[in-house]
Structure 1
Amino acid sequence: MSRFFSVSQPLLGNLRNEVRPAQRTISIPKAHPGYKKALQITKSHTKRVWSSTPVRQIDFRSPQRDISSHQLIKGPKVKGARTSPSHWLVLGAPLKKILSDLTKRPQHPNQIPVSSRRSKSAIMRSYVQVITTPTADTPGTTLLLHFDNKRYMIGNVSEGTQRACIQQKIGLAKLEDILLTGKTSWQNNGGLLGMILTVADVLITKAASLKENPGKGKKRRIGDTNDEEPKRVKIYAAENMNHLLATARRFIFRKGMPLDIIESQDFASAADAFAPSWSDSNIQVWAMDVVPDQSLSHHTRKRSHEEISGDETSEYSKQDVMSFDGKLEETAEQREDRYNQIRKGVIGHMFDSTWQMDALVSKKLSEVKMPAAIFVRNEAGKIEEYKGPLPSSDQYVPDIDVLVRNPWPGARIESLPPTSRSTISRSYIIKNYPQRGKFDPKAAKELGVKPGSSFRDLTMGKSVVTEAGTTVTPDMVMSPERVGGAFAVVELPSADYIEGLLNQKEWSSEKVMEGVKAIYWILGEGVFADERLAAFRAKYSHLKHIISSVDCCPDNIAFQSATVAELKLHLVDSERFPIPAYNNNLPSDASKSTDWIKAQVEDVLQLGESREAKEDKVAPKPFDAAKVLVELQSSANPGAPNWLDKEVLQLSQAAQKRIIDPEYLAKLAKVQEDIPCKDAELITLGTGSSVPSKYRNVSATLLRVPGVGNYLFDCGENTLGQLKRVFGDEMPQVLRDLKVIWISHLHADHHLGTVSVLRAWHEETSRHEETKSNSIIVSSEDGMLGWLSEYSHVEDFGYSRVKSLRLSHGNTWTNNFSSEEIDAYGLSSIVACQVTHCHQALAVVLKFPNGFSVAYSGDCRPSAEFARIGKGATVLIHEATFDNELEGDAIAKKHSTTANALWVAKKMEARRILLTHFSQRYQKIPVMDNSDDQIAIVAFDYMRCKVGDFAKVAEFRPALLKLYENEAGDE
């Protein structure tokens, strides 16, 4: 037999010296170029340590003349290991890199037995904290399971979840597992993409910091993960989560954060019907998938661990998955498996790719998709930028060889395999491991046991023999083992799911239910009142039943810091800055029964026992705007959150007097008499850049033209929630009047709220006979519209009623509306041009039949072409991400400064300018010079300003400058 090198992934018992059979083995023949190097590195980099973290095994399956036996884990025992604790081998970094390249995928959680995952001696704090309940700000319910070494997010990751974490100062560096409940839908998971991006950035930044400062990391404890290896984030969800994530391949790309998606079908069948679906070093999890009563329970094939762990790194996933064609004789299950491999391969490209931005590929000039940076080699062979004519020019252009950057792998995948909508709703039972009893040193001494190693052996579950020859067993000196704390998270989207949930076998299992303290119920509207749930609560009356539902939870303010900022602005100018709509009262039909508790943000349920464990924590009182307004005007504590400088109020009062002065109003009316639609209103819903922050949400601006319609410029995450806070009871009418959604470019902070807004529009207009046949325009570039189309296979959000306006190729594009379309949408034309920011970034001008027009820049560097197509615009909405002294940052990141935006406004001859999309790092009011013809103001979240009131807002600039004088950078 020829000599070969083998890499396998065994499971080593924590309290027993044993090696469980490896499930996957990759063999390297002796002739392989990496064989000698691996052999050499193994010899010099293998060492002994005490650890509880499983590692990969080195096994040579032929005579080992080159390596001494003490370096090997071979056969059922570890040679040279002491009896307790377990003896492990840790591989040096160079070998780990080789093994990582060869095996890539980690052990699937199902494969690791509970006994080998965690020592009963490990006692850590563990508790469940409520992060969100159903409100306008946060439509879903999110829980955080805390362990000292790790965090788990459980429930929904709806829009607004990320911002709620910021508000509550919840760090994400230790978040590795997300357990999603309910159906795969945007209402439940609309914040997941943004959350993944944030987690990826946190983990990548942390990894880079550790690489630069290897000694900076905290001292590792038993159970901690290895910070030197890329952290894997695992998402457990119902069907179609792979498809949902893969639809985002055109606008999400991160390197160095492997992402694993485990759907319903990925749990392999176990011999024990009550075995957990999966487990890790902290918890055991039982997943319960339920379908509604009217659905036929479709068969879901259970796949083996080998299939699951091989999905993302199979050879198929490395290929260019452009075609979905398979073998003609394949079964439906085989086809779906193949489709899922394609989706998982796409996700692998999105989060763990080796793509390099600086890599250039050769193409013919005619094949280059514009806009793109084009390079050529000069006569000396050096690369330089191509500045010659393009094929679109009128003159003849030779089709020369040029160099362009290859787009990231996900962008090259034109479409995904089809999927079907799933009705499965996921719930969980989650358990801690048992905790060992408390050691009684006094009793041990009385039995003749001497302190030291004998004490340690007894705490580890081993008997010892005293000098007198007496055998002392652990039960003689240890209190009884404590049952691990447990809880359930149940989601019922509608009453149709109740029967299937109550019939789950886990409820009747003593093994599964042992230690369960509480059930968190995430209920759809109208489900709570069902008598079957009341009977279930009565049967399990010894448990806490914590209800999270719109039927039971008030519409509290979730983003309190942003609301305090808005209330300060309200005291400055109450007309333009209204108090956000909210309601702290329980819904009128909420039950007065005492057998349940309403879920509240920051509620804590303690699970694990430790010296640091505390009683269950009760949530603080909800935000009360009236109380805060009083505090803002009366607080004598400068610098406190609820404090407002008296000078701000004085400056505000002076401005209020000016704008109601008859002489001022007469002059204003005269200089504005030629401006059309002075009563058109701009509502700035999100004015921050990049990611949601404590004070500003991401991009969205609504234009309301009375008697004509509503128009939305960009639609960042949680735009729907911002609309609800601004309009309150007006919200249904606002949705019915919505005509057009414009998305400027395919960056996450500009469009991840679109599905929610479209669904809300679809549901509201479908209720009324006069609007149920209406359509809505979504206009953008191909990638955005393709994303909506692909996601429509996951759920019905009204896509069939969307009229897509796709931009054709070229630098400028115009869509003129017919008379019938003018009646339907209120617009005479939409004109757009490409701008410098990202691929196919666009600026737009909406033109109305009466001469009113609004120009919107999206994200971009200043553009002369945009100024040309928007010539004479009534209103210009332009990004001003950076202040003027940060011009270098603006150029590097392809954004604009305040001065850049005002330059465009001057070239465009726009009458009114609204500056928005500010860097979240800089809370600063720019200094601007206004004239009667051109007035520029700064946008804030929740601001409502009519076109005819821009001049009035400008009068409050001294007060605003003073207000934000000392509030910069508090994010």
Structure 2
Amino acid sequence: MFHFPYCNYCRTLFALPLRFYSTRKNSNLEQILISMPKDPKHISEAQKQRKKIKEKLAKYVPGRVTLQVLGTGAPGAPRSLYVFSDQSRYLFNCGEGTQRLAHEHKMKLSKLEHIFVTQPLWRNIGGLPGVALTIQDVGVPQITLHGPQGLEEIFTATRRFVIIRDLQIDVADTNGTNIFEDSVMAVQYVPLLRYIEDDMQDGVSDLPTIGESIEENSDNHKSVQMGSHEMSEASTSTRSRRSRRRSRSRQRSPRHNSAQDFEDDDTDYYAHERKRHRSRDRRRSRSRSSSANRPASPIKKLSDISRKLQETKEEGISMAYICRLKPRPGALCLEKCVQYGVPAGPLLGKLKSGNDVLLEDGTLVRSVDVCEPNDPGPIFIVIDCPSEDYIDSLLNNDRFRKHQAQATCDEDVAYLVVHFTPKNVMENPRYQYWMEQFTPSTFHLAMNDLNTCMGSISVHRIQYKLNLLSNRIFPLLGDRGTECIQEENISEGNSSIKRMKVENGVNSVNNEGKTPPLITADSLEKLSVKSVPPSPTPSSVISPFTFFNMHLRPRKGIDRSGEIKLTPEQYIEECMAADGFSEALNELQNKLLKEYKNITIAPYPKIIFLGTGSCIPNKTRNTSGILLQINEYLNVLLDCGEGTYGQIVRFFGKEKADVIVANTRAVYISHLHADHHIGLIGFLQGRKRALCNIKTDENPIFLLAPRQIIPWLTFYDKCFENINTDYEIVPNNELLFEDHRLSPSIENRLLSTLNMSTITTCFVRHCPNAFGVSFQLSSGKKITYSGDTMPSNNLIKIGMNSDLLIHEATMEDELAEEAVFKMHSTTSQAISIGEEMQAKFIMLTHFSQRYAKLPRFNENITSNVGIAFDNMQVCLDELPLLHHFYPILRMMFAEHCEELENKAVKRQLRMERKRDASRNRSNSPEKVRELSPQQTTSKNA
């Protein structure tokens, strides 16, 4: 029996059975749906098409090149610089959260071919897995990574939970004299080494500087780098003391780093999904098996690649990039050609090619008179100086001197320097001295914690709308770093636009509130004096917002007109413009007012939903993350998808987020799919910074997770960054309700730290090593979390009589078959589990990203069922109030709900066509002739 879609806001259309649309002879809807394309292009076809386009465009030097800020590097935000031209795209650094920003702002990643990374640290590579999956899905055939040695092994380490099948990942050789070059630009690799003062006093101060080791090249576009052997020798010889300190630090780790911890995890966590794909298309599966990135194919063990990466980690090389655009001839000015009397035809082509022409009347027309000046190609430099130990590499490097004030010609002067360098290093007098060696015309762009913009508009847009319903449950976000435009009514009845003050931003707005499209180098000084607050950094440093543009060609200059801005009144007006919304809002407010008078709300425990979407983040729902606030000073994090730390900063604001993160004493990971744990490293590093900022003793956090997470974390610790002392592992299988193995001493310390009486886990029906968990607080409250699972009897057992069940509801009820294939639950299934365990309240979360704003649900959403949103906070006593929100939520997201209903109609029609086609085939004359008389009689019977 099929579910008939029903729409409360448009009853006349969707109250009819679906069969009405499929049987009505003159149904325009049916014809539209039937004529729609059924299958998207195959990835391989998209890849072939892109290769053809690339080969065609590679013959020409692009006429448009722009640097665009995607992630500003603000606390909690990724740092990523996007460079795009008419032909291709380049990304400099790819921090965690880059994928989500690219999705929200519709960045065309289909042309992305090269990613340049300064250092293989999480702040630079945390977004690589997500971006790789995205560009794979849009048909990009291959991607090239540029950076220190071993950078590509991040994909080897994450191969079990980040599945790359159709994307070839190449690695550029950045050693020796190699230079990357294509039709857009040439890039020199400049390694920066760290020199430690204590080690130099030990007898290594006579090492040659980098500048002394560089050999000059006659070509101004290409300079020879220091050899790889020399780099390694200079780096490791200065690190013996620091290496010993790190070794001692690891010995103090609360975890055990045995050889067993570093063994490969051979579990296939996506086997259930791949089985479905293989059954659909075995030929495609066989072609994929040749890919080196496919997990099923022979790959290197983690232990085999650890040595190379450990050497890279010890050397600590930070790669700088000197980029010069390819020279481009000046464009032909047709107006000048007309003035000189040049006729249309081949003479124009000769002039454009730089040749002078003689007209029929004897007039000599010179190419320089009718063409714009040639563009030799501006230079921009990308710098990441991680600490003060690297400043000597900058000061002593002749590569940079060639593009500073000592440059032999104007063409070699750097037009822009992009600083991924942290704020505290940029404030160092020696670093500022190095910056001052550039000419006054050189721009400096800061991509670091000097900035405040976190990059998202959609998150604020939906929060302003939900805040209309309840400022307790949907508070306005603590992130105040993005420029906000508000209307201010004045006494005369007119309105003017004002901009809220933002720290550390170069304001490009004039007195009328208009944004000039371009800021030239000549006007920057005047602008900076008026707009930039006092700062120890040079006044020429620009602090950008997301979508800040620096045009390099054809016209050079700053363009701030596209920077993101918030317009709260516009978001509110979008809601209030809906028919009947204002009345419905007043009715809701009156109901809530009465309800709050009749109940007493305990402030804790409190649940804050940081991510309520599945699979990949989108602009309104991040991947899984839930903050359980047990009391004012104690928090537990349930799952940690990509960008979870950024969600905390966005919700609380930077200062309060430090306190929240520092007071988080445990992280629970339900299973090892990337959308549930890939943000863990970023969270651990954010917590370390928070502890340092508030000057609190550093205590390792409890990590309740599948034991199989250990190889990944140990590998990252050994080969990328030290994180081993930041957590203490408590395997989930040692907390099983039927097989409790955790030692009493650890369990007592765990429970007392978390103010709980019991913590119980169980295996659930999802991927291997997937767990559900139930927390019994010391106050007596019981909270159960399903993680990802199909309906599970084990979860019912451990969650009996819960005060709150947080259960995944990935699919709507009509997609029950798809839910089985992906081993998820539907809305009704999740509710049924809560009813069987007699939970007082059921909170649904982990929705498919097709339900970006509101999931599609039936009338079984009762008063004890809630729908989770990102940045939603609720106390247990407030849960019964949530059912009052559903009618107005349908009204608020009416367009989205209508789209879901239309898709349901289309899906139902498609199913009916398949059934009809199947019946026609079984009853066809050819089929009947093949049957014997006895078989025909049996079939008719």
Q: TM-score range by the shorter chain?
A: 0.5 to 0.7
Partner of 1:241: 151
Partner of 1:153: 91
Displacement of 1:744 in angstroms is 1.7
Displacement of 1:476 in angstroms is 9.8
**In structure 2, do the counterparts of structure 1 residues 299 and 373 end up closer, same or farther at CA, with 3 Å as the change threshold?**
farther
Verify: 1:130 aligned to 2:69, yes or no: yes
Counterpart code for 2:503: L
Q: 1:937-967: per-residue Cα shift (whole Å, max 9, x none)? A: 1111111101111012222222222212223
Task: Supply the distance in 1 between the matched residues of 2:821 and 2:586 (Cα, whole angstroms).
Answer: 41
Q: 1:683-705: per-residue Cα shift (whole Å, max 9, x none)? A: 00011111111111111011111
Verify: 1:911 aligned to 2:813, yes or no: no
Task: Supply the distance in 2 between the matched residues of 1:457 and 1:496 (Cα, whole angstroms).
Answer: 55
Q: 1:234-253: per-residue Cα shift (whole Å, max 9, x none)? A: 11122442333321111122
Name the TM-score, length of structure 1 as normaliser. 0.65
Task: Supply the distance in 2 between the matched residues of 1:581 and 1:767 (Cα, whole angstroms).
Answer: 18
Does the CA-based 8 Å contact 1:758-1:797 persist in structure 2?
no
The DSSP-based 3-state class of the residue aligned with 1:924 is: coil
Counterpart code for 1:645: A
Partner of 1:748: 674
Partner of 1:864: 793
Task: Supply the distance in 1 between the matched residues of 2:769 and 2:808 (Cα, whole angstroms).
Answer: 17
Verify: 1:597 aligned to 2:536, yes or no: no
Verify: 1:193 aligned to 2:159, yes or no: no
Does the CA-based 8 Å contact 2:640-2:680 persist in structure 1?
yes
**In structure 2, do the counterparts of structure 1 residues 770 and 455 end up closer, same or farther at CA, with 3 Å as the change threshold?**
closer
Partner of 1:959: 888
Counterpart code for 2:786: S
Partner of 1:354: none
Verify: 1:731 aligned to 2:657, yes or no: yes
Q: Quick check: which one's helix share is greater?
A: 2
Count of paired positions: 711
Partner of 2:584: 651
Counterpart code for 1:581: G
Q: 1:800-836: per-residue Cα shift (whole Å, max 9, x none)? A: 2422122459996545554333223334443333333
Does the CA-based 8 Å contact 2:808-2:830 persist in structure 1?
yes
Partner of 1:819: 748
The DSSP-based 3-state class of the residue aligned with 2:608 is: strand
The DSSP-based 3-state class of the residue aligned with 2:159 is: helix
Q: 1:641-693: per-residue Cα shift (whole Å, max 9, x none)? A: x765374443333333333337x754x56xx9xxxx88211100011111111
Partner of 1:541: 439
Displacement of 1:930 in angstroms is 6.4
Partner of 1:291: 193
The DSSP-based 3-state class of the residue aligned with 1:654 is: helix
Task: Supply the distance in 2 between the matched residues of 1:859 and 1:437 (Cα, whole angstroms).
Answer: 59
Partner of 2:628: 703
Partner of 1:803: 728
Displacement of 1:720 in angstroms is 0.6
Verify: 1:576 aligned to 2:512, yes or no: no
Does the CA-based 8 Å contact 1:604-1:617 persist in structure 2?
yes
Does the CA-based 8 Å contact 2:611-2:623 persist in structure 1?
yes
Partner of 1:586: 503
Task: Supply the distance in 2 between the matched residues of 1:372 and 1:260 (Cα, whole angstroms).
Answer: 26
**In structure 2, do the counterparts of structure 1 residues 769 and 153 end up closer, same or farther at CA, with 3 Å as the change threshold?**
closer
Counterpart code for 1:659: L
1:279 aligned residue (181, 185, 195): 181
Task: Supply the distance in 2 between the matched residues of 1:707 and 1:542 (Cα, whole angstroms).
Answer: 51
Counterpart code for 2:443: H
2:296 aligned residue (400, 408, 412): 408
Does the CA-based 8 Å contact 2:380-2:417 persist in structure 1?
yes
The DSSP-based 3-state class of the residue aligned with 1:203 is: coil
Displacement of 1:488 in angstroms is 1.5
Question: Which ranges of structure 1 fall in alignment gaps of 5 or more residues?
Answer: 1-95, 101-105, 205-230, 271-275, 303-331, 337-366, 375-381, 383-405
Compare relative contact order (CA 8 Å, sep 6+) and give the higher one, 1 or 2. 2
Does the CA-based 8 Å contact 1:544-1:596 persist in structure 2?
no
Task: Supply the distance in 2 between the matched residues of 1:479 and 1:732 (Cα, whole angstroms).
Answer: 54
Does the CA-based 8 Å contact 1:519-1:543 persist in structure 2?
no
Q: 1:38-73: per-residue Cα shift (whole Å, max 9, x none)? A: xxxxxxxxxxxxxxxxxxxxxxxxxxxxxxxxxxxx
Partner of 1:529: 427
- Computed over aligned residues only, the root mean square deviation of the Cα atoms, in angstroms, reads 4.4
**In structure 2, do the counterparts of structure 1 residues 893 and 649 end up closer, same or farther at CA, with 3 Å as the change threshold?**
farther
Displacement of 1:372 in angstroms is 7.7
Displacement of 1:524 in angstroms is 0.4
Does the CA-based 8 Å contact 2:546-2:563 persist in structure 1?
no
| Aligned pairs (5 A) from 1:210-229 | none
**In structure 2, do the counterparts of structure 1 residues 807 and 455 end up closer, same or farther at CA, with 3 Å as the change threshold?**
same
| Aligned pairs (5 A) from 1:769-788 | 771-772=697-698, 774-788=699-713
Does the CA-based 8 Å contact 2:444-2:540 persist in structure 1?
no
Partner of 1:428: 321
The DSSP-based 3-state class of the residue aligned with 1:711 is: strand
| Aligned pairs (5 A) from 1:604-683 | 604-609=549-554, 616-620=558-562, 623-624=565-566, 628=568, 630-633=569-572, 635=573, 640=574, 645=578, 647-661=580-594, 666=598, 679-683=604-608
Does the CA-based 8 Å contact 2:432-2:538 persist in structure 1?
no
Counterpart code for 1:718: G
Displacement of 1:298 in angstroms is 11
Task: Supply the distance in 1 between the matched residues of 2:295 and 2:150 (Cα, whole angstroms).
Answer: 26
Verify: 1:873 aligned to 2:814, yes or no: no
Q: 1:782-808: per-residue Cα shift (whole Å, max 9, x none)? A: 332221111112344542242212245
Partner of 2:102: 165
Identical-residue share of aligned pairs (%): 25
Does the CA-based 8 Å contact 2:607-2:627 persist in structure 1?
yes
The DSSP-based 3-state class of the residue aligned with 1:937 is: strand
| Aligned pairs (5 A) from 1:86-485 | 122-140=61-79, 142-154=80-92, 156-181=93-118, 183-203=119-139, 231-262=141-172, 266-270=173-177, 277-294=179-196, 408-409=296-297, 413=301, 415-418=303-306, 419-420=309-310, 421=313, 422-438=315-331, 456=349, 481-485=374-378
Counterpart code for 1:603: F
Task: Supply the distance in 2 between the matched residues of 1:864 and 1:425 (Cα, whole angstroms).
Answer: 52
Task: Supply the distance in 2 between the matched residues of 1:440 and 1:956 (Cα, whole angstroms).
Answer: 62
Partner of 2:777: 848
Does the CA-based 8 Å contact 1:430-1:486 persist in structure 2?
yes
Segment of structure 1 superposing worse, 441-450 or 814-823 = 441-450
Partner of 1:897: 826
Q: 1:878-910: per-residue Cα shift (whole Å, max 9, x none)? A: 111122222233223222111011011112211
Does the CA-based 8 Å contact 1:873-1:908 persist in structure 2?
yes
**In structure 2, do the counterparts of structure 1 residues 686 and 158 end up closer, same or farther at CA, with 3 Å as the change threshold?**
same
The DSSP-based 3-state class of the residue aligned with 2:642 is: coil
Displacement of 1:433 in angstroms is 1.0
Name the TM-score, length of structure 2 as normaliser. 0.67
Partner of 2:10: none
Displacement of 1:497 in angstroms is 2.4
The DSSP-based 3-state class of the residue aligned with 1:527 is: helix
Counterpart code for 1:175: L
**In structure 2, do the counterparts of structure 1 residues 172 and 550 end up closer, same or farther at CA, with 3 Å as the change threshold?**
closer
**In structure 2, do the counterparts of structure 1 residues 958 and 201 end up closer, same or farther at CA, with 3 Å as the change threshold?**
same
**In structure 2, do the counterparts of structure 1 residues 850 and 194 end up closer, same or farther at CA, with 3 Å as the change threshold?**
same
